[in-house]
Amino acid sequence: MTGEVPTWEAVARTHGRFLYNVAYRLTGNDDDAYDLVQEALLRVRKGLETYQPGSMEGWLSRIVTNVFLDEVRRKRRRPVEVMPDDPERLLPSAPSADEATESLSSDVQAALRRLPEEFRTAVVLCDVVGLSYEEIADAISVPVGTVRSRIHRGRRLLRAALQ
Amino acid sequence: MIPRPPGPGSDGHLDDVLSAYLDDELAPAARREADAHLAACADCRAELDDVAAIRQAVRILPVHAAPHPLLDWPVAAAVAAASPRRRAAWALAAVAAAAIAMLLPREPEVAPSLPTLAGSHAARASITGDPLSQLAPIAVPVRFGP
């Protein structure tokens, strides 16, 4: 009956690295990436019952992005909480230990983390995940023209931050 | 001197068409127009180079590994191994843990102590022999850092 639908364990085993990497690039730190992946995994388990065989990574990145954006919206509604762009995290002089080990890419990661979420999400889905503009538009429910504009503005902001 | 075909941006330049150009997201006619504009516009060529460089820098970011394998995470193990009746309890436990975690004050990022995590995991795995099914009953949702 389940036929081609993979088991939850198979998904976690095969795509766990991918899922975590996307979560890390979206959130910019291991703490939040960990929370994000846990919530995404719960949704994956529910979603597998109705999963239509197709691009697993596309489907997973849609789930993890939606969890991320839900969290961003939730925090915006409750501004008392620490925001993802609070000054602590804006300090480029305080990279986390894992960033130090990625010395070559840490500047890019730090700049990515400082991007407003809308631009960061579009850039990550395009350049880290490799989705098409249409797939991104579908994933975050905005028009393709908005996706194009966010990707371009995101890249220009990154470029400016790294100059 | 070839007259410069105006781009679609508000100031007559290519603007976000440049990203679509790099990502091969333009229809053939739009791509030809962009090529014609680029051939005559040094500003847009320079911006294209800048955007191409940053695009490449993001694309070659290394895969960032999870602090330890996904299947060993408490919630993950609970989802995978719990019987249907116990899943509800685990879901509740996860929700409760998340709620408690949210109440805790957040501190600046603290890197997880990998040797500690790896050591404790290895110890449990060697005792049980089957980390996936054995971890779940004893697992307590744990957070890294604060």
- HEC profile for A80-93? CCCCCCCHHHHCCC
Q: What is the pLDDT of residue B12?
A: 79
- HEC profile for chain A? CCCCCCCHHHHHHHHHHHHHHHHHHHHCCHHHHHHHHHHHHHHHHHHHCCCCCCCHHHHHHHHHHHHHHHHHHHHHHCCCCCCCCCHHHHCCCCCCHHHHHCHHHHHHHHHHHHCCHHHHHHHHHHHHHCCCHHHHHHHHCCCHHHHHHHHHHHHHHHHHHHC
pTM for this model (two decimals): 0.68
Contact A102 B62 (CB under 8 A): yes
In a domain, A28, yes or no: yes
Domain definitions of chain B by residue range: 17-59, 70-138
Q: What is the pLDDT of residue B110?
A: 42
Q: Is the ipTM of this complex over 0.85?
A: no
In a domain, A2, yes or no: no
Domain count for chain A: 1
Judge whether A69 and A122 are in contact, CB under 8 Å: no
Q: What is the pLDDT of residue B119?
A: 44
Binned at pLDDT 50, 70 and 90, residue B109 comes out as very low
Q: Give the one of A98, A151, A159 whose C-beta lies nearest to B50's C-beta.
A: A159
Name the residue range of residue A34's domain. 8-162
Q: What is the pLDDT of residue A56?
A: 87
In a domain, A3, yes or no: no
- Which residues are CB-contacts of B35 (< 8 A; sequence separation ≥ 6)? none
Which of A155, A156, A162 is the best substitution to test chain B (most B C-beta atoms within 10 A)? A155
The first and second tokens of residue A7, run together, are 């088991």
pLDDT under 70 in chain A at which residues?
A: 1-4, 79-104
Higher pLDDT: B70 or B24? It is B24
Within 69-128 of A, beta carbons closer than 8 Å to B belong to 81-82, 88-89, 94, 96-98, 102, 105, 108-109, 112, 123-124, 126-128
Q: Residue A41: which CATH number?
A: 1.10.10.10
Contacts of A129 in chain B (CB under 8 A): none
* CA distances from residue B146 to A67, B68, B93 in whole angstroms, order as listed: 21, 17, 19
In a domain, A66, yes or no: yes
pLDDT tens digits, residue range B1-13?
456 676 776 677 9
Judge whether B80 and A8 are in contact, CB under 8 Å: yes
pLDDT tens digits, residue range B55-65?
999 999 999 98
